[in-house]
Amino acid sequence: MIAADGAVPADKFIWHAVTRAVGNVKNQGPELIETIKSL
């Protein structure tokens, strides 16, 4: 019941573009949360 009661629909999220570095567990550091200037 927690999943059903606590779930938030996808249209309530704000999605942000990220670089491939974000998906790699070996990468760490503040540069991972910097704004992307262009994609």
The pLDDT score that the predictor gives to residue 38 is: 67
Per-residue confidence (pLDDT) for residue 34, from 0 to 100: 87
| Tokens 């704000």 -> residue | 14
Is the pLDDT score of 36 beyond 70? yes
Write down the pLDDT at residue 6.
Answer: 76
Q: What's the rounded Cα separation, in Å, for the pair 4 and 26?
A: 33
- pTM: predicted TM-score of the whole model, two decimal places: 0.46
| Whether pLDDT at 4 is above 60 | yes
Residue range 5-32, pLDDT digits in tens: 778 888 888 888 888 899 899 999 998 9
